Structure formats: structure tokens, C-alpha cells
Structure 1
């Protein structure tokens, strides 16, 4: 009798025992009178040794990604054949029976993390792409995190409640997906952009703690942080202050990161107001994994003869700078032009720069800053090979947003962002309303 197990269950206790594994073929290695099959399932990888003549004939028909059933003896590998990179690398299955469960056509791409397949090809053959370790691990991680969230919130007396997905169209941040009604001719449902209205009704009904893994739909162009369909953790609480929300989310994220990826987050996250975030980082969701902060230079340029700055200050606008220390030699004319395009996109008065060479301004708008030069060098502790970027606009928010995007572009280009670092923070005191630029 063969014991049916998963690849990760192969262990020393099963040596010389009969085992049965159902898995997919990852690699095939021919060595004359025997063949090695590297197989994998959701849990782990394992090696199969085929050396009996009647099984070799079956194995010759097997191709990559065939789904097969292996029955055999678990044996120790010879010392020189041990693979320390595999959890099951100290043993292998000596095949006694092989059954092809399902065949596979020629693969459109290799099932490897570093394959060169196009995104369209990966989506067309999604079931193959999901076999890659990196993507498979993300799917598993998402499941683990969702399970932890549910347990965490239920223990704190939250109710998991579902809200409708066919709703009335209401003004929100994006366009609605519209669904025509078959019964009520000429009328339409909308798919929810969020459960906002319904969770408020739940609070009014007296259910003071609610959550759901809410499916949301927004008819907008896809970007790195935008999708037409996505899932979000949605929760609502009655009779609480923002400090209660801070503590709840901090504890929940601490639990998720510790249990899912063994990372210890700080028990309390940094906090920053919306206005300070915009002033320092040019974003209401700032990346603080690198320093590179914006600075307001309006006061220092109040007597400037540079017309752009003079007009901006006359109209009570804002001038901000970004100082990149000891990297001026990294900025070619082409790179600066690319940054200027960002400033144009945000309709600022343009992006200007100057470098520090021989302890004075050089290039860019240096000739317009002769009066302020020494004061600025002293005030901002400028040194040789520093570069300063300036932008100005009558609208404070426009300047902040433009410089925020320029800041991110510079950080990415110079490799300033530590992708392995987690830097959570709360941004609070958002404005309740924003001006509509077309109607204000």
C-alpha cells in the first residue's frame, strides 16, 4: 500500500517506505540507463529516479508540465548527489510505477521566474504563469494575510457583513461600470466603487464594528496602482477617535508582517499631517524610505530679479527647491530634460536648476541668482557637486505635486530607494474638500 503524500511531507521517517505523489514535471534529465524527474506541487519540489526498463519507456513520453502520479520507495541520495538548495534534497523517490494523469502541449514560455514572456502571453496562459514560484508565493501570501485579518477582527468583535454589488450610481472618484436591467427597461445598476454608503447604513443600524473583503470596481485606465477590479479590506467603527483607528491598524499590520514574512514592524507608525506631507514630500502618500525633502525658498528669493520668481511671489505663489547632495555629475542634459517634462505636465512655471562648482553657482539659472548666491549656499549648506532644482507656481498644491513626482523620479534614477525597507506612516488632517480647477 502506497502512502499518498505531498512533496513537502517527504522526510527521514519515510525512508524505504512506499509513497505516492501527484505532481507536475518541472525538469527532465536523461542519463542513459536512468532518468531523473524533478517534480513539484503547491508545497515543494522533489526528485524521482527512474531506472527500470518498462518505466523508462513511459518516462520517454513525458514532457515538461505533464501532471503525473509517482509511486515508489523513498530512498536517501548518495552524499555527492545531495541538493542543499531543496528541502527534500537529501532523498529521492525510486519509481515503481508512473501514470500520466494529464498531458501538456508545447509550452508558450518556460515556467521560470526569469522568463522573457510578454505580459499578454502570461495573462493568456494564466494557469501556467501561476505555477511560477514568485507568483504562486504571492497568491499563498494573500490567502494567509486574509485569514489573519479575519481572525484578528473577529476576535475584536467585528462583524463580517456583505454589502450589495448592484447599486445606485453615485458621484465618486472614478467612473462607474454600468449594468443594464433586464426587468426594468431603460434603467441601470452600477457596480460599487466602494461600500461607503452601505457601511454607513450598517453603522446607523447599530452594528458598531463592521468589515468585509470588498470587491470594488472603477472604470479607469490601468496603472501600477490602478485596476478596474480589485479587493480591499473595508471596515467601519462607531464612537471612536482617530487614535483608536491608528492602534487597530498598527496592531493588525504588525501581526500580518510578523506571521507572513517574519518582519517586525514598529508598534507605532510615524504620523504626519497632510499639509506637512505635501510641503516636505510633495505627496499625500509620501515615500519616506529616502530623505530628499522639498524646501520652500520663497522668503530667500523675495528680492529676486528672475521674472518667473518675481511674478510668482507677487501673486503670493510658492517656490520650492529640491537639493540633491553630491550628485550633480549624475545629471546629464537629457535627464534634466526628462525632469522638466514632469514640471510641464503639472503646469508649473517650469523646472530650473543650478549646480555648485568651485563654491559658487554654475549653469542653469546661476546668472539670475548672483545677489542671493552666497546667502543660499550658506543657508542650505551647499557644497561642490550639489545640484538644486527649482519650480514655482501661483498654486501651492501644484508646486508640491510637481516636485513630489520629480523627487520620486530622481530617487528611482539614482537608486536611492531601499526596496527591502518598510516605512509606514499615517497621513492625517486631510482637507474635507478640494477645489475643482474647472469651476472654482
Structure 2
């Protein structure tokens, strides 16, 4: 049963409304202009100190920023919805923001990461798909919140509202990082390099879903997130007539196709988990043309940095060999990465003790085992490097379909559980009731 406290009654409705608003208007990484503006206006009204654009992240540390043409086109499309002063700060893909609340009372510095970007997926319009059924499915063609970041953003705003409303009861400083471009491991390092985590004592982040757990279940830590690298690979050959002069052509399509299949032949590493995936392959000009272009989007992963480095070395070898075999040129653009990460085990008991009085949290498990990658790893490692502590939690929900699928959705009851977890952590175990 939810707490009868007025704040909780209000926020339960509000976080669902926020989640649906963000779900309806998803934006891709480094293009979250409207999302950033809406978050910022909420935080501004609460009295947070806001840092936007290049005040929030290090421009040169961003990975995989969309082309200037893509950014300019999207900026023009949405500029009428955002005040010029805000738009000017975010131009060129400088999305996301940092927000700080200082209680004025001596205490620890806590930081929280909430990712805000969506994915390039066309959302399902099946009547069985809850967001479509309830009319909050994506209005942006081929863009969808298919991983729960809309929920994470709503949770972050709920926590910010709690801190602002209860500041007199709290101690220390709270830093919120509403991070752009988590997908592809592209945005966290830019915020780390700006220095937001250099004096943080405790860092908390988390995710809705990933493992299918009952609503009310919280994993206080995770194990298994992998180091990863993200590449765009371009093959350039020479066009020619496929019938009259095939010998004059240099076939970039075959080079790209060869690389995409042979990459999967890399032997797996004996010392831990390793992964490789080609997620996109485009090539060709027409049926009677020797193709002069081929393009791959791919990634490597490894349980440790050494294993991921091994996967990268082998992948480069195969890509270059494929180019050589078809006498074409190849370039590899490094567009994202994540690091290995380990949660501080000492925070498990801290979270369990803090959340003991919660009415929404039914069970806290020590750790959830996962196998993806997270660029929150940069933030966790930065905090731990100077003696701070960090963890990454999971919040239970049933899943109608896999993450990153057109029918992905989660139970909205998970929002309140996640928010309650963060509130209890902030209060240090005191009841919210």
C-alpha cells in the first residue's frame, strides 16, 4: 500500500504523467532538446541551480554526435517549442543538464544519474501495446523510448521534487545528472570530464527492468555489465558497370558483407564473457552497379577491459582483411564506449537498512546478474577513483517484450518503487510516512 502522506499521493500521479509525456515525445541521443527543456523548467521552478549546454558537459568528450546537418534540421523543426535562450545553449547537440541542490547543512554529497535518450525504433501500434492503447505512444516517427529512460527521467524529477519540498529535513548536497546519449555509450564521459563527480561521496543510478522481477522488488547492486566499444565502419570502393566492365570495379558491398559475417568467427575468450554484434549493414547503388560503398554499425563487448581490447584487436584485423581482399579502402570511427564497473558491496546493507520502513518495496535482493553495458560505468568509476562509493540498482517489473523492441513497455507501478528507494536513500533510513 502506498504511503498516505500527501507528497506521495501527489507524486504517484505526477510521475506517471511525466513518464507518459516523455514517452510521447522521444528524442535520440544528443538531440534531446525538448526533453532537456522540459526537465529544466521543472527543476527551475523548484529552485535548483541549473547547468545547461556546455556548462553541463565537455563538448569534445561526446561520442557519436549526429552530423551538423542532422542536428540543424531537427533544431529547426523544434525551435518554435523552445525559448531561444535555451535553444542557443543546447545548439550543436549539447543536450542534457546538471542540477544541484545544497541544503545548507553539512553532510555528504550524493549524485544521481538519470538517462533521457530514446532509440531509433518505430513503436508498435498494436491494440495490445499499452502506450498505444492509452494514447501515449511515440508521435516521432522511428523514435521510441524502448528501454525505460522515459521512466528514469520521471523518477529523477520526482526525487528532485521531494528534495526541494523537504530540504529542511535533509543534509548535504545533491547533484542530479540528466544524461544525454546513454544508448551507444556516448554521453556519460562528457559529464564526467566536466568534473561533476570529483567530490561526490555516494553515487546512485539504476534501471527499470532488464531482469524480469516483480514490482516491489529492488536489486541493490548489479553484476555482469560489460566493457564495450561502438564503431561505425565505412568501406569505399569504385563503381563500374556490372556487365560491361566488372573488372574495373572494386566492390565495397562484398567487403562489408564479408566483414559482417567473419566478425562472428572471432574465438570467444577463455577468461570471461565476450560479445560482438553487427547491428546495421547498408551498401549498394543498384542491381547493375559494382558498389562503391558499404557501411557497418557494430560493437564489441568484454567482461574486462582486456577481453574487450582483445575483441577490438581481432575485429580490426578482420575488417582490414576484408577490405584488402576486395581492394577497397576502409575507415573505422570510434563512436562510443563503456567501462567495466563494480558496485560497492557495502552499499547493499545501507540500502536495505534505509528502505526497511518502505511500504512500496516488498523485497530487496543483494544483486541482479546482467550482461549488457552501461556508460554510467564512467560515473561510478570516477566516484570510486577518489574513495567515494557507487552502486547501480534494478527496479522490478514484468516486461511485455524485450528491451529495444517495438513493443517494449514496463509496469508503471515500478516508478513509485524506484522513487521510494531513492527517497529512503536520501533520508538515510527515516520513514517517509
What TM-score, normalized to structure 2?
A: 0.20
What TM-score, normalized to structure 1?
A: 0.20
Higher helix share: 2
Q: RCO greater where, 1 or 2, for CA within 8 Å and sep 6 or more? A: 2
Select the structure of larger CA radius of gyration. 1
Higher strand share: 1
